[in-house]
Amino acid sequence: MSQMKANMKKRKKEIILLVDDDLNLLANLTEVLEKNGYAVLTTSDGNEVMPMMENFPVDAIILDLKMPTLDGMIVLQKVVEKHPSVPIIILSAFGSIDDAVKATKLGAFDFVEKPMEPERILITLENALKNSRLQKGHYLLLQEKMERYQMIGESEAMNKIFALIEKIAPGDSSVLISGENGTGKELIANALHLRSKRADERFVPVNCAAIPKELIEAELFGFEKGSFTHAIKKKVGKFVLAAGGTLFLDEIGDMSLDTQAKVLRAVESGEVQPIGRESSIQVDVRIAAATNKDLRKMVQAGTFREDLYYRLNVIEIHVPPLRKRKEDIPVLAEHYLNRFCLERKTKPVQLSPGANEALIRHKWPGNVRELRNLMEKTVVLADSETISGDEIQAFLEGNPVDKASNKTNPGGKTLEEIRINAERDAIKSKLMANDWNYMKAAGELAISRATLFKKIKDYGISRNNRS
């Protein structure tokens, strides 16, 4: 009990609503709860529960099932429907245990028999609130992830993709995402995962093009300790890591035919066999694959397995290049400007009409990735809060603008030096924003971890001195 009281002092008072027509019980239970740090609301009329919940941020309800004005079971159903995150503890008199069990099936957290011991009600209440806090924390975390992987666009093509994602996300069908480099294929895979019933489990990305052919089997399926010369400890493969969640196979067109055969077996059987292990492991994963290549032509050329192609391409999402959906460019640019200003804690920056025109004129060979990197460069190098068309054009060409003369001027630095400095700053910013989580930083920079490590070494970036 002393520990419970200590816990109460560490957080704000939580509001408990007591609902019972026994006025003595209300008075006694109120005293017990208030002594243990709770704020208490009471009512003996079930009809008052919903109005009270609209006016007060109730954290939990202790509810009697048998009341003369409005039956507690009806109150329970109304609360569960309107406020599903609020835990409800049922007070059950002797002989009404069946009703209490029925109430838990309808959504009540637990029930306590009358006459009740204060210790019992306090423990049950603390467990209910703890569970509620965990659920709220999980909900906030999920919302944060959805904001991080938010998809932006107003074009007809993107609206069709948004609608398709909402339609197919709840299922388990494999999805093939096609499109040019930088169009946001991994973003779509993340959106599918976060809107699916698997959102509580892992989203595991694998860049098939970044892993050497001789290592990809170990990466995908894992291996046992001692299974080969350098296997000094067991490695869990990506299929097993993604169990229950989503496995994202990026650049699937770069996978060798031998590996394709093993991936096909895993997808068809739902089993993987780590190197050096005699038995298989059952895995339940949803597969999302992505490619910038024409897999149909690769099938015809014999460089991609036809059976794997049809296994992966149950549903296809094609992402058009940015140059074919120009109406999305200003919206995306504003989104990334705001995001990078927040990350770097700088004053807000906005684009002038001329700047937006310059963005729309550009061909965007690097697609959304190029636009995102340009907006980060803009936030890093801009000298004013409103970006002109000349500045954007200069940034696109790799030169800053001399405001006094309104002409491009390298300011004593070569184009390559400017590019290197901007890239170094962008990498440092992403590493620090992600607390030096290399996988997350590489994902947001849209480069492989191998490329990230190489650039960290080339630029002399160190975690210790943040240089």
CATH number at residue 312: 3.40.50.300
The reported pLDDT for the residue numbered 438 is 82
User: Are 310 and 331 in a shared domain?
Assistant: no
Which of these three, 295, 320, 345, is where a domain ends?
320
Neighbours of 324 (CB within 10 A): 11
The reported pLDDT for the residue numbered 306 is 96
Radius of gyration of the chain from Cα atoms? Answer: 29
What the block records as the tokens of 303 is 């460089």
Number of H helices and E strands in the chain, helices first, is 20, 18
Which of these three, 277, 303, 320, is where a domain ends?
320
Phi-psi region of 454 (alpha: psi -120 to 50; beta: other; left: phi over 0): alpha
User: Are 312 and 332 in a shared domain?
Assistant: no
Give Cβ neighbours of residue 395 (< 8 Å, ≥ 6 apart).
374, 377, 378, 381
Please compute, for residue 181, the number of CA atoms within 13 A of its CA located in the half-sphere on the CB side. Answer: 9
The reported pLDDT for the residue numbered 408 is 43
User: Are 211 and 309 in a shared domain?
Assistant: yes
The closest alpha carbon to 373, from 396, 351, 355, 389, belongs to 396
Q: What is the CATH number of the domain that holds 45?
A: 3.40.50.2300
Report if residue 269 sits inside a domain: yes
Report if residue 335 sits inside a domain: yes
User: Are 12 and 133 in a shared domain?
Assistant: yes
Residue owning tokens 């001692």: 226
User: Are 105 and 67 in a shared domain?
Assistant: yes
User: Are 200 and 105 in a shared domain?
Assistant: no
Report if residue 464 sits inside a domain: no
Neighbours of 461 (CB within 10 A): 16
Report if residue 467 sits inside a domain: no
User: Are 182 and 169 in a shared domain?
Assistant: yes
Report if residue 125 sits inside a domain: yes
Q: Which domain holds residue 207?
A: 152-320
The closest alpha carbon to 384, from 403, 411, 370, belongs to 403
User: Are 136 and 10 in a shared domain?
Assistant: yes
Residue 214: exposed, middle, or buried by beta-carbon count in 10 A (0-12, 13-18, 19+)?
Answer: exposed
User: Are 52 and 82 in a shared domain?
Assistant: yes
Distance of CA 288 to the CA centre of its chain: 16
Per residue, what are the HEC states of 69-126?
A: CCCHHHHHHHHHHHCCCCCEEEEECCCCHHHHHHHHHHCCCEEEECCCCHHHHHHHHH
Q: What is the rounded CA–CA span in Å between residue 87 and residue 67?
A: 20
Report if residue 94 sits inside a domain: yes
Number of domains in the chain: 3
Phi-psi region of 33 (alpha: psi -120 to 50; beta: other; left: phi over 0): alpha
Local confidence pLDDT in tens for the 467 residues of the chain: 333 343 434 446 889 999 988 898 899 999 999 999 899 999 989 899 999 988 888 999 998 888 877 888 888 889 888 888 899 988 877 556 677 778 878 888 888 888 778 888 899 899 888 888 777 655 555 556 556 657 788 899 999 999 999 999 999 999 999 999 999 999 999 999 988 999 888 999 999 988 888 889 899 999 988 888 777 888 899 999 999 999 999 999 999 999 999 999 999 999 999 988 889 999 999 999 999 999 999 999 999 999 999 999 999 999 999 999 999 999 999 999 988 898 888 888 899 999 999 999 999 999 999 999 999 999 988 888 899 998 898 888 875 444 433 444 444 455 556 667 778 888 888 888 888 888 888 878 878 777 888 888 878 888 765 44
Report if residue 465 sits inside a domain: no
Which of these three, 145, 170, 198, is where a domain ends?
145
The closest alpha carbon to 162, from 128, 133, 195, 137, belongs to 195
User: Are 116 and 175 in a shared domain?
Assistant: no
Report if residue 466 sits inside a domain: no
| Strand-pair category, 246-250 with 286-291 | parallel
CB 18 within 8 A of CB 116: no
The reported pLDDT for the residue numbered 137 is 59
Residue 396: exposed, middle, or buried by beta-carbon count in 10 A (0-12, 13-18, 19+)?
Answer: middle
User: Are 157 and 175 in a shared domain?
Assistant: yes
Q: How far is CA 237 from CA 198, 283, 418, in A?
A: 19, 11, 41
Q: What is the CATH number of the domain that holds 417?
A: 1.10.8.60
User: Are 451 and 408 in a shared domain?
Assistant: yes
